[in-house]
Amino acid sequence: MNRIVTAFITLLIAISVLFSGPPAACAESPAPDVRPTSVLLEELLLSSSPYESVEGFASYYARRFEGRRTTSGHRYNPEKMTAAHESLPLGTVVRVVNPVSKQEVHVTITDRCAPKAFHFIDLSRAAAKKIGLWGKGKIKVVIIPILHDKLEEPA
């Protein structure tokens, strides 16, 4: 939770710096950073995660898992943006990118999958459809952990 508060404060500072003009005394200051705000915010979020991005494979949950309890205690809902991963902490928000089509999705890790010799993530049906995985079985993806947040207790 402390990391989230720190990231939020850093985000607010970054936004205030982006939208404030240069000080009057700095007439000869270098050109301001003109990258889009979304790129700057994404870099800030990525820097708040202690985990590295990795290339791996993605698949999706089989229909038989619908309604079953996940490791986090929540029930698997194929329409939610969730995923299973072998080692990332439960509650971690992960960006999964299909490098071929450049489609991406943000999912929350709510379950565990079997250990594999390579990096692997198992996506919900909705997430699989969003990155063009649905119907293909498995594809190569880039897995980018963004934020770690404690999951709320299931109802």
Spatial distance between the Cα atoms of 59 and 136, rounded to a whole number of angstroms: 8
Mean pLDDT on 26-44? 57
pLDDT at position 154: 58
Single out the residue of 130, 138, 91, 134 nearest to residue 112, CA to CA: 91
**Contact criterion met (CB below 8 Å) for 109 and 146:** no
Mean pLDDT on 58-67? 89
pLDDT at position 62: 84
- Tell whether the torsion through CA atoms of 73, 74, 75 and 77 is positive or negative: negative
β-partners of residue 141 are: 56
Mean pLDDT on 63-77? 91
Asked whether the predicted pLDDT for residue 129 surpasses 90, the reply is: yes
pLDDT at position 26: 47
pLDDT at position 134: 85
User: Which positions ≥6 away from 50 have C-beta within 8 Å?
Assistant: 148
Interval 81-121: pLDDT, tens: 999 999 899 999 999 999 999 999 999 999 998 888 788 89
* DSSP classification of residue 73: S
For residue 1, the tally of other CB atoms under 10 A from its CB is: 8
pTM of the model: 0.64
